[in-house]
Amino acid sequence: MDLGIFCKGTLDQEPVEHCFSALFALGKNPDPSYLDWLMKAWGWTLAVAVLGLFLALILGAVMGTLRTLPPENKLNRFLVRFSTAWVELFRNIPILVQVFLWYHVVPAFIPVLKSFPSYLLVSIALGFFTSARIAEQVRAGIQSLPSGQKSAATALGLTTFQSYRYVILPMALRIVIPPLTSESMNLIKNSSVAFAVSVPELTLFAMQAQEETSHGVEIYLAVTLLYALSAFAVNRVMAYIEKRSRIPGFIVANSEAAAH
Amino acid sequence: MVKAGLIAAGLLLSSMNAQAASQTLDKMKSTGAVTMGVRESSIPMSYTTGDSRFDGYHVEICRMILGDIKDKLGMNTLRINYQPVTSQNRVPLVQNGTVDIECGTTTNNTARAKDVGFANTLYVEEVRIAVKANSGIKSIADLNGKKVATTTGTTSVQLLRKHERANGVNFDEVFGKDHADSFLLLESGRADAFVMDGSILAGNIANSKNPKDYKIVGEVLSTEPIAIMVRKDDPEFKAAVNAAIAKIVANGNMPKLWNKWFLSPIPPKNIVVGLELSPATKNAWANLNDKPAEDYNKK
């Protein structure tokens, strides 16, 4: 073990003056150390993951809700079919293949995507892939509600939109927070596929720096630690949200363990 | 009595030495098999010709070496298992014994020499720039503001970074997962140039849909000895490999091998790589050595 490797320059592998100089000038340091590079890579991992997560949560919630619409008119039936197709499409293709599709294949048909930077395309791929999984969880959450709630909303004279807005979703979205936590943590970890289309994130750093320095053990340890830390941070944030959004007396009310 | 004891101890020691000296040769003898590390797409050095068969300049040389060692060990047959390796896993696979002899496109440098051993160099690589023929890029100076592709886990990345700093040429690096990916980046316009070993560039261009659309331009960015990789803690095996190499060179086979793999149509598609023999490679044949890349680039 020689952690000094992180204080060496990436150009000549000689020790640099300030081991961690680039905190406030990322990318501008002419002679960055491996630690600078590691931090920059971490930043890319988080950027891709957070963008993807944002997309996934919105799309997932929408698609999951659409899948549970009552088939009372043509529009609803179309929306149910559309969201089902969405889920089946994006959860049946491996994430790595989806990333390649978004990067190499889709831009061949939609030229405007060619000007999109690769991190954005990877975020879209990750977001769509995860949205399919989140949609299924949201659907399960909605369908797990006692049917009396829906009936009561209808009896009150609420429209479909209103009953979802005021009765069903506020209950269902609270129930699905625990599986959403896992899915959000998965997204952080899945962001490692971004290396395949040249986003300079942690996995790419690990492969390249390992090759350059022959200090694979130290480098993979550092990268592992940062992935674990990032995923755990997401876990804590979600646990906090879960705790704050809890309604006393409903479903998760009396289980303290739910947040862990 | 004491003398006899010493002799006995000496015998014991020497036999132990012989046993410890070459695990690889012992393994070959006892199992009748050897594992060769090969690359999937490093045409013409080492590549697959389909159906899990592998061929190439280094692969053929390795077969000749292993044939020579087989004869020396007095074995009738030696089964060669082919194990595809990548830029990222080739060193660990040699270190942990999965691969006995790696016949791909590995640069012999001091960092790697800490982990593995290298046989005498038979091919000296020049790092060059491949671009689209109509791009107007002629040298490294033209790369300013352009996107330059290279493959993750290769020394070219570092080389590119050093050049960028030294010459004030600013370009964006994009990384391919492997050489085929990097070439796809160039082909699909995601990158304006692909910086890599000359043979890999020539091979990928020869293998592309329209070889005439690409050309190799510019100065030689770096000269690197590409060598066959063996285990570090097995000097006896390395000596056997080097003896076989010396024999192949002495028999005058090298120009023929070069002609076969670099200048003639090669399987499976009968493409011609078209890379002329460089003075650096010729020199390596004339003066067999296992010097690392650092010695080549001293000025």
A10, A198, A213: residue with CB nearest B161? A10
Q: How far apart are CA B16 and CA A158, in angstroms?
A: 89
Chain A residues whose beta carbon lies within 8 Å of the beta carbon of residue B111 = 212-214
Q: How far is CA B149 from the centre of its chain?
A: 20
Contact A196 B181 (CB under 8 A): yes
Predicted model pTM: 0.74
Q: Nearest-5° angle of CA A7, CA A9, CA A14?
A: 90
Q: How far apart are CA B110 and CA B295, in angstroms?
A: 9
CB pairs under 8 A between A and B: 59
What is the reported pLDDT for A69?
93
Which pairs from B205-214 meet CB under 8 Å and 24+ separation? B205/B130, B206/B43, B206/B271, B206/B272, B206/B273, B206/B274, B207/B43, B207/B269, B207/B271, B208/B183, B211/B271, B212/B133, B213/B132, B213/B133, B213/B134, B214/B130, B214/B131, B214/B132, B214/B133, B214/B186
Kindly write down the DSSP assignment for every residue of B190-222, as one continuous string. S-SEEEEEHHHHHHHHHHSS-GGGEEEEEEEEE
Chain A residues whose beta carbon lies within 8 Å of the beta carbon of residue B188 = 104, 107-108
Chain B residues whose beta carbon lies within 8 Å of the beta carbon of residue A201 = none
B111, B115, B152: residue with CB nearest A208? B152
Position B18 pLDDT exceeds 50: no
Average pLDDT (B192-208) is: 89
Contact A195 B152 (CB under 8 A): yes
| Assembly ipTM | 0.76
B87, B88, B184: residue with CB nearest A104? B184
A104, A195, A210: residue with CB nearest B188? A104
- pLDDT per residue rounded down to tens, chain A (260 residues): 788 888 888 877 788 777 776 555 555 666 788 888 899 899 999 999 999 999 999 999 999 999 999 988 999 999 999 999 999 999 999 999 999 999 989 998 999 988 898 899 999 999 999 999 999 999 999 999 998 988 999 999 999 999 999 999 999 999 999 999 999 999 999 999 999 888 999 999 998 898 888 788 999 999 999 999 999 999 999 999 999 998 877 755 444 554 44
Nearest CA distance, B145 vs chain A (angstrom):
15
Chain B residues whose beta carbon lies within 8 Å of the beta carbon of residue A200 = 173, 175
Mind listing the pLDDT tens digit for each residue in B221-265? 888 899 999 999 999 999 999 999 999 999 999 999 999 999 999
CB atoms within 10 A of CB B141: 12
Q: How far apart are CA B293 and CA B290, in angstroms?
A: 9
Chain A residue with CA closest to B180: the answer is: A196
Contact A211 B153 (CB under 8 A): yes
Going by C-alpha positions, the residue among B84, B116, B65, B74 that lies closest to residue B249 is: B65
What is the reported pLDDT for A29?
64
Nearest CA distance, A84 vs chain B (angstrom):
33
What is the reported pLDDT for B122?
96
Confidence grade of residue B21 (pLDDT, cut at 50, 70, 90) = low
What is the reported pLDDT for A253?
44
CB atoms within 10 A of CB B35: 22
Q: How far apart are CA A211 and CA B175, in angstroms?
A: 14
Nearest CA distance, B69 vs chain A (angstrom):
31
Contact B175 A213 (CB under 8 A): no
Please state whether A137 falls in left (phi above 0), alpha (psi between -120 and 50) or beta. alpha
B112, B153, B174: residue with CB nearest A207? B153
Position B110 pLDDT exceeds 70: yes
CB atoms within 10 A of CB B221: 19
